[in-house]
Amino acid sequence: MEIKKLGPLAAEVSKVDLKNLTESEVSQIKTSFLEHCVLLFKDQDLLPDELKDISTIWGQPQIHPVFKGLDGYPEIIEINNYGEKYHTNAHWHSDVTFEETPPDATLLYSLEVPDSGGDTLFSNQYLAFEELDEGLKSDLEGKRAIHSNIGVLMLTGGDTSKAKTVEHPIFREHPETGRKALYVTEAFVKSIHGLESEESQDILQKLYSHASQENFLYRHKWTKGDLLVWDNRSVQHFAEHGYGDKVRRMHRITTSGSKPF
């Protein structure tokens, strides 16, 4: 197995067969995942059951609370291009933070990709926390943000009266590495608990801008057969569009989560 660092986060793992892993290789993959936060496995050829099996390296595969999965594989969402108007991921976020226990890991596997456009950007939230203004960091220590799925329900035509909210710490400690990460996402956070609306929104905008600084980023240009796995506890991502009506088809699966602290 070879591991090549790609940027402020992310590494490419090569010379390994994901369908026939040894215990030693699984251990190396897990260690690399915690170190680099995003792992890339190129030139994969994975059926849905194989993708599901591989996901168990990171936890139990989960059924998405909003989007319907594949027939026979409810944990796997197929992501297709329905045009930029219906593009749901053009914002910085960690996945499903409106749950009490958001997923620890996300796997995204490319089946068909356009020749240009559709990059996915990843941002290292360990670095975002570490390089945050010390005064602001002190002011926000111990504070919690309110996350909601109302935006997803509105986008998908769901029943907004059933929207859920949950509070998570603004600074999340990783349960395996012990490192702290900034944990506010523009997609799902509505306010900071205990602050007046104007102050809350002002601080959140500063945090959103800080979280996606260029020196925290890895940009992934997709090719067919790429499998990316990322750590939602320490990473935010942003899916660009820019490929018109061209075919772009992915399979996505998330794994069991843990309650942020």
Task: Report pLDDT digits (tens) over 3-30.
Answer: 999 999 999 999 999 999 999 999 999 9
How much is the pLDDT for 81? Answer: 85
**Sites in the chain below the pLDDT cut of 50:** none
Q: Are strands 38-41 and 11-14 parallel, antiparallel or unpaired?
A: parallel
pLDDT in the model for residue 19: 97
**Whole-number average pLDDT of the chain:** 94
Task: Note the pLDDT tens digit of each residue in 169-178.
Answer: 999 999 999 9
Question: Domains of the chain, with CATH numbers?
Answer: 2-255 (3.60.130.10)
